[in-house]
Amino acid sequence: MNRVSTQLAELTWPEVAALAAEDPVVIVPVGTIEQHGPHLPLDTDNRIAEGFVSAAVGCCEPGTAIVAPTVAFGLSQHLADFPGAIYHTTKVFIDVLTEVYASLARSGFRRILAVNAHGSNGAPLDLASREALFRHPGHLFAYVSWWELGDVCKVAVDQGPESVASHACAFETSLMLAAAPELIRMDRLVTGDEFPTSPHVWRDLLGRAPRAEYKKPIRVTEPWSGWSRNGVRGDPREATVELGRAMFEAGGAEIAEIVAELRDRPLMSAQSISVGDLAEEAPGE
């Protein structure tokens, strides 16, 4: 089949039917619309997710991956004090994700991978994957956030600055320099306010503790405007396009590896288990 696009929305329904029969992995970019400081656009997370997915498709074997439309609105209530946020409530967002998965399953796709670029989307993505599996046995639902990709973290640590990796920071700004430099207000690059930390309350996307004595952090959500005046956490002035390109390249290659693994993974269905099965496995006397 002569496929004109790797974008699901650009195909006709007969092309989708033929593609689903080839059992590709459907990659779903997931982001949100929210403030990203005075220098980055509201759709930064969507563009970053799409950038990683685009890089991944370029590394995948032809016909093994197809890109679904971006799930563009996520959980951004804690950032909504800054104008511009468009978001779902938690329950609605989980339902949206589950229904997107259900729609893809109905079209014949059996392997779904969400690529996420917004921190608060993680828990809903996990719950939606579990709900979708319950509703669609014999399918595979997975997700990964870009900062969870080991190769991306290695590039970011080795080539990036020591400033915190968080929000509208040097790392997100570097990715946007590589993805959409024309949208960055370069004359408005400012460092973020100091986020109050303690041994169990800190956050760095790359997992770097701000002090040696700090421990594994707990998860705590607070209103962003309670401590920040400009919406930035980190120092975007340290961003470079070279870092952004290197992160996209590393992430694209690693996501392509994940796609290949998911393609090779057998699709599992739940089995009926009884107490008798346990008795049969008991060691003999």
DSSP states along 130-187: HHHHHHSTT-EEEEEEGGG-HHHHHHHHHHS-SS--SBSSHHHHHHHHHH-GGG--GG
Residue labelled with tokens 């109905």 = 106
Q: Quick one: which of 249, 271, 263 has its CA closest to 142?
A: 263
Say which CATH class 8-281 falls into.
alpha beta
What was the pLDDT predicted at 282? 61
Residue labelled with tokens 């599992």 = 268
Q: What is the pTM of this model?
A: 0.94
d(CA 36, CA 233): 9
Helix, strand, coil fractions of the chain, as percent rounded to 5: 45, 10, 45
d(CA 69, CA 131): 21
What was the pLDDT predicted at 200? 98
Angle at 65 between CA 64 and CA 70, to 5 degrees: 175
E strand residue ranges, the chain: 25-30, 65-67, 111-116, 140-145
Residue 95: both structure tokens together: 């339902």
What was the pLDDT predicted at 151? 98
What was the pLDDT predicted at 1? 41
Residue labelled with tokens 């982001």 = 31
Q: What is the largest CA-CA distance in the chain?
A: 78
Strand partners, 141: 112
Query: Residue 256: helix, strand or coil by DSSP?
Result: helix
Strand partners, 25: 65, 111
d(CA 16, CA 158): 41
pLDDT tens per residue across all 285 residues of the chain: 455 689 999 999 999 999 999 999 999 999 999 999 999 999 999 999 999 999 999 999 999 999 999 999 999 999 999 999 999 999 999 999 999 999 999 999 999 999 999 999 999 999 999 999 999 999 999 999 999 999 999 999 999 999 999 999 999 999 999 999 999 999 999 999 999 999 999 999 999 999 999 999 999 999 999 999 999 999 999 999 999 999 999 999 999 999 999 999 999 887 777 777 666 666 655
Helix (H) or strand (E) holding 66: strand 65-67
- The string of DSSP letters for 6-71 reads SBGGGS-HHHHHHHHHT-PEEEEEE--B--BTTTB-TTHHHHHHHHHHHHHHHHSPTTSEEEPPPB
